Structure 1
Amino acid sequence: MTQPGDYGLPGSLNRVLSDVAAERAAQDAMWGVQDHADGTGPGYGPEADLAKRAVTDAAAEGRLTWRHILHEEVLEAFAEDDAGRLRDELIQVAAVAVKWVQDLDRRTRSQEAPAPPPVTG
């Protein structure tokens, strides 16, 4: 049964989140605990504004892509220097990336699905 967030594929969200968790475990195994500065701040604001405009323009012209959407979310995160707002933006980045993977899975699955039998009557 398809659950909310499954993008029309039963278990899709759980499968993608499981894949993300496995990748995180692999990163931890390879790199251990990492402690880096955020490297974000208002200096990225103009780039974020351009990305927002690109999303708006692409949507209005019927050529919006996942790249546009993810790029905008990433640049909005880069423009934050408040830890709480940065966290919120990074959650949005992760959510868009997960949704994109679900869309890839959905499209792949629909290409692999056998054609329905011809209707006879």
Structure 2
Amino acid sequence: MSYPTIFTTPGLRAIAEDIDAERQRQLAKFGDQHHPDGTGYNGSTQHADFWRQSCQAAFSDGEGTWGHVLLEEVYEALAEKDPAALRNELVQVAAVAAAWIADIDSRPTTV
């Protein structure tokens, strides 16, 4: 039986399957969890601005890394108070993490 393709980005299916497997391990270990978001705290906007500027400066200097990009996205998420905007930022965090994983997976393996 043939199933429809739900992932069109090359390599994303394998990454999504790895994420799903990790979520299954988390659920088995911790169960279904519910916590406060912990976002929009005092100073969170300044932290987001700092990481945004740091990321831009690093790339301007030719020294940008996946770490810069991910931290910028994480701190932008942490600055959000609105649940819909937070969700959008977390999707961006996940997409950057997936892009970083895809980059690692595309590298030649060394022994």
State the TM-score bracket (shorter-chain normalisation).
0.7 to 0.9
Q: Take 2:38 and 2:8, find their aligned partners in 1: how far apart are those partners?
A: 35
Q: Whose Rg is larger?
A: 1
- Map 1:67-82; keep pairs closer than 5 Å: 67-82=67-82
Q: Take 1:35 and 1:89, find their aligned partners in 2: how far apart are those partners?
A: 19
The alignment covers a number of residue pairs equal to 103
Identity rate of aligned residues, in percent? 43
2:9 to 2, 5, 16: 5
- Map 1:1-121; keep pairs closer than 5 Å: 4-6=8-10, 12-41=11-40, 43=42, 44-107=44-107, 110-111=108-109
Q: Take 1:30 and 1:111, find their aligned partners in 2: how far apart are those partners?
A: 32
Gaps of 5+ in 2: 1-6
Q: Take 1:103 and 1:19, find their aligned partners in 2: how far apart are those partners?
A: 15
Q: Compute the TM-score of the two structures, normalised by the length of structure 1.
A: 0.81
Displacement after TM superposition at 1:33 (Å): 1.0
Displacement after TM superposition at 1:88 (Å): 0.2
Aligned AA (2:89):
E
1:55-87 Cα distance to aligned partner (Å, 9 max, x none): 110111111000000000000000001000000
Aligned AA (2:65):
T
Q: Take 1:75 and 1:85, find their aligned partners in 2: how far apart are those partners?
A: 13
Which shows bigger deviation, 63-72 or 38-47? Answer: 38-47
Displacement after TM superposition at 1:42 (Å): 5.1
Q: Compute the TM-score of the two structures, normalised by the length of structure 2.
A: 0.88
Q: Runs of 4 or more off by more than 3 Å in structure 1?
A: none
